[in-house]
Copies of this chain bind each other. A is one copy, B any other.
Amino acid sequence: MENFYQEVEENISWLSAIGSDPTGGISRLLYDENWRIAQNGLKEKFEGIGLSTTFDEVGNLFGRLTGSKYPEETIMSGSHVDTVVNGGSLDGQFGIVAAYLAVKYLKETYGQPLRSLEVISMAEEEGSRFPYAFWGSKNIWGLAKRSDVENATDANGVPFVTAMRESGFDFRDEDNRFRNDIKAFVEIHIEQGNVLERIGKSVGVVNAIVGQKRYTITLSGEANHAGTTPMEYRRDAIYGYSKIVSQSIEKANAQGNPTVLTFGHVEVMPNTVNVVPGKVVFSMDCRHTDQGKLNEFTQILENDMKQIAEELGLAIDIDCWMDEKPVPMCEKIVKVLETSCQEQGLDYQLMHSGAGHDSQIFAQFVPTAMLFVPSIAGISHNPAEATETKDLVEGVKALVSSLYKLAYEE
């Protein structure tokens, strides 16, 4: 494994050049030219180490090393090949490179595994070109519907279907059976947060992906002249907003991990220095690894904000437009990853993922778990996205050991 340092850097550099833009970022969007170059380049790489490759109908790429004893049992690893617009050099693609290097090392070192090993480069996860995310993994498990994207167009008006067909792909044939050979899926990904960095660990073993609820909340009061309207005659929407936000965040702070609560977006009307705001529309994003606790906490917040609105004479409309359930990872696979880290002498952290990943789709169907490597300053979806190479290497080593246990041991 002494070559990993160089191999990780070389492969990340090679893949990052495909879709790189002058700002140092990468834009490689579903079915665009860079996406096609990357998938075909990966296909060659996979074949170069003796894997047999296939694309499925929608453009997910698989590189397979058939097992000797249990060829019908597949251990899969990989991630998504697409980026956000002006994204970084690790989100998604590091998971493909790491799986490729791990399988390459295992094959070179131990030869044919007992179970089949597959590297996957998934077509799409970010939802950056078209308004649809997890197109790759959702197609593998039959969760993507033709009607979801049939009328979708990108920012330039290019229809989803046109882009897909021009890339040589098409809708999944719904008569095809879904795969029942996958016995484990392991995805390695950057953390996209700052927990590992803060606690000084190189690897995280993910035991759950948070559920998230997103709200749009509208507070309606009365826009009034800032000078001529006494305080007691006001129905000030920003006052209601400020009470709701401060009180809710205090409660989230009191709850502590794994509760996170974010008021990221706000729009004020008329948003003028000398007018009391008559209307405030704002977002609330709440996440937790436990569905019951997530619902319980957001119910408390909803009750609080209704009470605040009533006290201040404001009308309130609460619209919960996203309610994604938490996804626990497979305990057995988590244990394999933990044991692998221990055997490699890695000081890992058992943790949850606060962001969504392809693993949350896989986990609904097959035993799944994830590894994290640290994100410097927690930055991602940004050209400044970075991880120390030594940490990337530790991640690859943990993955090697995990895949060995899953594919080479009885």
Chain A interfacial positions (CB closer than 8 Å to B)? 191-195, 198, 210, 212, 214, 224-233, 236, 238-239, 241-246, 249, 252-253, 255-266, 268, 270-277, 283, 285, 287, 353-356, 378, 380-381
Contact = CB atoms under 8 A, between A and B. Distances in A.
A246 B239 contact: yes
Interface centre among A193, A242, A249 (most CB of B within 10 A): A242
A263 B228 CA distance: 15
Contact of A246 (B228, B246, B257, B283): B246
Nearest to A267: B271
A266 B259 contact: no
A231 B261 contact: yes
Given A230-B260, A266-B268, A194 B224 contact: yes
B273 A285 contact: yes
Contact of A232 (B191, B229, B253, B263): B253
Contacts of A353: 227-228
A191 to B, nearest CB: 6
B274 A225 contact: no
Interface centre among A224, A232, A244, A252 (most CB of B within 10 A): A224
Contacts of A228: 191-195, 353-355, 378
A231 B212 contact: no
Contacts of A261: 231
A247 to B, nearest CB: 8
B252 A238 contact: no
A381 B274 CA distance: 12
